[in-house]
Structure 1
Amino acid sequence: MKKVVILTTGGTIAMVKKDESVVPYEKGNMLISEIPELSKLKDIKIEVREFSNIPSPYMTPKNMWELSKTIDKVLEDEEVLGVVVTHGTDTLEETSYLLDLTLRSEKPVVCTAAMRNIGELGTDGPRNVYSSVLTVLSPQSYGMGVMVCLNDEIHAAREVTKTYTSNVATFDSPGYGPLGIVDEDSVIFFRKSLTREKILVEKIEEKIALIKTFTGDDGSFLKIAVKLGYKGIILEGFGRGNVPPLVADSVEEVIKMGVPVVITSRCFKGRVYPVYGYKGGGADLRKKGAILSEHPIGQKAKIKLMVVMGKTTKIEEIREYFERDIKRRPLEHG
């Protein structure tokens, strides 16, 4: 019999209310296996395996990398059609994107979660798990990359982000939209992402810092990050990837130390691009050796740099992974 494996990692979907707070369920992820709709699926075995039972802020790059290797091992089984990963919402977008970049199999992998714990009125966890299993079972899911399914919407891992602190409709793909939906028991795809990629590595670089610039920033945090041992830096700038002038000096200094600096934006739509040539503008930073990220969201670029630096630490080789749309634009011209 063919089967779908549900790998549980913890999060609100595996939590209950105790006194005045929400805490991990003492029986682990058993709540997932008690969803009645799963037992009604014909000719499909649902197998629940616990990977961890932690709140998603506890998720680390090491955990994500171990999860990736675990999923690849699970998918080697010919009886396994695909995998559903249950996860906390806070860092789901990071974990799903790392999986999307590093998994070797093209079998469907769907990450899901819950915004409301199992004891809360209108809990969304059971439906999200069921919809995710249906997504795995859809023939169109093969080769779609890692997906995120909540609130009956299916999103690409590279594109999706958490947009709301509490609403069940928190996950969105700004500038892209969902890949499809789950309507009752039907899975309907609208499109396929053309931006996904695989970067197959044997290791990742965990020590990547994510720093957000701000008005009046003097660039100190970049130099401190290097002193603390961070091997790469994601710098979230303004607009097209612009930063205050003193930050530009620090960017140049850090790059001369051999530490790659990838520029993103606090805007979650569009892309950073070498437009502005004033000191601290995106074009100026690129002349100084900074890399402009094709993806504006900082946490996504951080995951990608972790993976890329598992393959190479050379700044110009790293650039090739982030500047595919602007690589014909010479550095000396900004």
Structure 2
Amino acid sequence: MSVALFTLGGTISVAGGSNRLTGAELTAAVPGLADLGSVLEVQDVESVPSGNLTLATMLDVVDAASKAVSAGASGVVVTQGTDTLEETAFVVDQVWPHPHPFVLTGAMRNPTLAGPDGPANLLAAARVACSPAARDLGALVVFNDQIHAARWVRKTHSTSTATFASPNAGPIGHVVEDQVRILTKPARQDGVPGRPEAADLDAARVALYTVTLDDDGLLLQGLADTHQGLVVAGYGVGHVPSALAPVLGALAERMPVVLTSRTGGGSVLRSTYKAVGSESDLLGRGLIDGGFLDPYKARVLLRLLLATGEGLDEITAAFAQHH
């Protein structure tokens, strides 16, 4: 039995200065990994900060992981930087077609610091990747001995080793005394149909606009001429200043515009408030309800849907899964 390990760089691999550890060096530094009962088949893909990763890179990793599973791997682990991990995990979750666990992890303290968390996170991730209990759960993020579903997980702190949390649901499981304990098994959702081509991804430009106090909307001018979609991170349950409501409504006539909350937890509402700029007003102007999706994941989903040629009805239905 084997687990396919793909390394993409990030803090977990930082060895001082610009030096980065290879996958073989990473695994050699993990006590107990040799006793796992599964061989780790290592592929070094990238050696970059996660801010330099792209959707195209992650789709290539998914393709390589699919080949590994077809060749007999029981699961997949990806190590990368944490800055974009919540987004890359969601990309994987939308396109991973297999029941085999696909686990992403990393570190907040690099190997040159006291108490590096990378070895423990990698060991826990490997345990989850080869656990039958973790099958049919889509992409998972394993950090600090917690198991999170990709659709809910967020990076919530800039430096804490407990940075990853799922504000709307909590972890779906834990690694306890070397055992994978799954507490709840959320049903898998329909992913994105097909695998977007690189050129289609490049053409699917989606803007993310965070609404702020006394916002005049100047940055939205000309957006429909340069982008194919927009995600709005509104106040609270999905509100914007009244002056922005007609601007967003006009944009929704030309492109998909998804309404989300900038708060980091909870869902946008549908019908509680009625004022101009409220959630019911914006949805009535044609904006799409982003539900529980945070703005970053909403942007990932909208871009993937546009890149696969989905129309407005299909895009609306995809987001309805997250209500």
TM-score range, shorter chain: over 0.9
Residue in 1 that maps onto 2:61: 67
Could you tell me how far 1:196 is from its partner in structure 2?
3.8
1:102-146 Cα offsets, whole Å, 9 max, x none, are 011111111000000011100000110011111112111111111
Give the alignment partner of residue 268 of structure 2, picking from 272, 277, 280.
272
The structure-2 alpha-carbon separation of the partners of 1:196 and 1:320, relative to structure 1 and needing over 3 Å to count, comes to closer
- RMSD across aligned positions (CA): 1.8
> Matches of 1:24 and 1:299 in 2, distance apart?
30
> Matches of 1:3 and 1:202 in 2, distance apart?
26
Superposition map of 1:206-245 within 5 A: 206-227=204-225, 229-245=226-242
Superposition map of 1:94-243 within 5 A: 94-194=87-187, 196-203=189-196, 205=201, 206-227=204-225, 229-243=226-240
Could you tell me how far 1:30 is from its partner in structure 2?
4.1
Could you tell me how far 1:24 is from its partner in structure 2?
4.6
The structure-2 alpha-carbon separation of the partners of 1:147 and 1:185, relative to structure 1 and needing over 3 Å to count, comes to same
> Matches of 1:173 and 1:197 in 2, distance apart?
20
Contact 2:36–2:127 (CA under 8 A) maintained in structure 1: no
Residue 76 in 1 paired to residue 70 in 2?
A: yes
> Matches of 1:16 and 1:102 in 2, distance apart?
32
> Matches of 2:259 and 2:19 in 1, distance apart?
37
Could you tell me how far 1:317 is from its partner in structure 2?
2.8
Give the alignment partner of residue 247 of structure 2, picking from 246, 250, 257.
250
1:158-210 Cα offsets, whole Å, 9 max, x none, are 01000010010000000201111111311111111236432232316441111
How many residues align structurally?
316
Could you tell me how far 1:304 is from its partner in structure 2?
1.2
Give the alignment partner of residue 49 of structure 1, picking from 4, 28, 43.
43
Q: Percent identity?
A: 32
Moved more, 148-157 or 304-313: 304-313
Residue in 1 that maps onto 2:5: 6
For 1:8, give the aligned amino acid. Answer: T
> Matches of 1:29 and 1:221 in 2, distance apart?
43
Contact 1:219–1:249 (CA under 8 A) maintained in structure 2: no
Residue in 2 that maps onto 1:331: none
With structure 2 as the length reference, what TM-score do the two structures score? 0.92
Contact 1:223–1:254 (CA under 8 A) maintained in structure 2: no
> Matches of 2:150 and 2:213 in 1, distance apart?
31
Residue 316 in 1 paired to residue 309 in 2?
A: no
The structure-2 alpha-carbon separation of the partners of 1:222 and 1:106, relative to structure 1 and needing over 3 Å to count, comes to farther
Q: Give 5+ residue unaligned stretches, structure 2.
A: none
Contact 1:10–1:29 (CA under 8 A) maintained in structure 2: no
